[in-house]
Amino acid sequence: MNPAKKVQARYGMVIDLDLCTGCGACMVACAAENNVPPAQTGTTERTGLTWMRVAKAENGLPFPEARGVYFPVLCQQCGNGTPCVSVCPQEAVDVDPETGVVGQMAERCLGCRYCMAACPYHARYFNWNDPVWPAGMEKTLNPAVATRMRGVVEKCNFCHGRYQAAKAKAAVEGRRELQAGEYVPACVEACPAGAMMFGDLNQPASNVAQEVKKPEAFRLLEKLGTGTKVYYKSQQEWVRHMGRDGRNS
């Protein structure tokens, strides 16, 4: 009798925009965890490097009906016809069949930036400079994450180093499968408002799998059909409309 086929994980995230305060703790935690260097003198929005940014959106109405919301934007982890994968001439981008996470291999990247042009979420960044840290700060780098050279594209990978650490711990304990909560990206762990949750979308009982079924959950630019694994939620219709369609009305 053949053993049952292993069900592959499909890790995803749900961000509650009604709870997000735009504090930026997720950005700081992401940079610290993944050895993203601080901005150098003269850096602009176009030349800056980050794996996550917090954007602000407004409903465009005058006071007192004016409303605003913060959108943490990271790689949306596309699952259908992943645009960045399809255009990379170096095969430096792939979708991990075990996790569903879109990975970026700096060693293969030639810096053509086709992936940046293809990404509809503007969630990829070109490394214009060699990484530099203030004196002494290099001692605080995360040894589990390799630094990247200039001339390559970078992006969120759901803290791949943490996934590997969780897998190693499970292996030591004689387990093949991860338990819920063992693998959590730094941004989710750092959010003081509890606006972010993470888990396996292929596990019906997981929090994320339950949340994405709710009517207030949506994906960015859903009509593109990219099958993103990052979801957002809001009780406000204008927020959901803007997120799904990319415009106020």
Return the number of other C-beta atoms located less than 10 Å from residue 240's C-beta: 19
Q: What is the mean pLDDT of residues 236-242?
A: 96
Whether 6 is in a domain gets the answer no
pLDDT of residue 46: 86
pLDDT of residue 218: 97
pLDDT, tens only, 87-98:
999 999 999 999
Q: What are phi and psi of 233, to 5 degrees?
A: -145, 150
Whether 184 is in a domain gets the answer yes
What is the CATH classification number for the domain harbouring 75?
A: 3.30.70.20
* C-alpha–C-alpha distance, residues 44 and 76, integer Å: 24
Whether 5 is in a domain gets the answer no
Whether 195 is in a domain gets the answer yes
Domain count across the chain: 1
Whether 59 is in a domain gets the answer yes
Q: What is the mean pLDDT of residues 32-50?
A: 92
Tell me 36's DSSP state: P
pLDDT, tens only, 168-218:
999 999 999 999 899 999 999 999 999 999 999 999 999 999 999 999 999
pLDDT of residue 4: 46
pLDDT of residue 65: 92
Q: pLDDT class for 45, splitting at 50, 70, 90?
A: confident
pLDDT of residue 249: 56
How many alpha carbons lie under 13 Å from residue 244 in its C-beta half-sphere?
14
Q: What is the mean pLDDT of residues 217-238?
A: 97
Whether 238 is in a domain gets the answer yes
Whether 3 is in a domain gets the answer no
Q: pLDDT class for 6, splitting at 50, 70, 90?
A: low
Is the pTM value of this prediction over 0.75?
yes
pLDDT of residue 8: 87
Per the structure, the complete domain to which residue 100 belongs is given by 11-245
Whether 167 is in a domain gets the answer yes
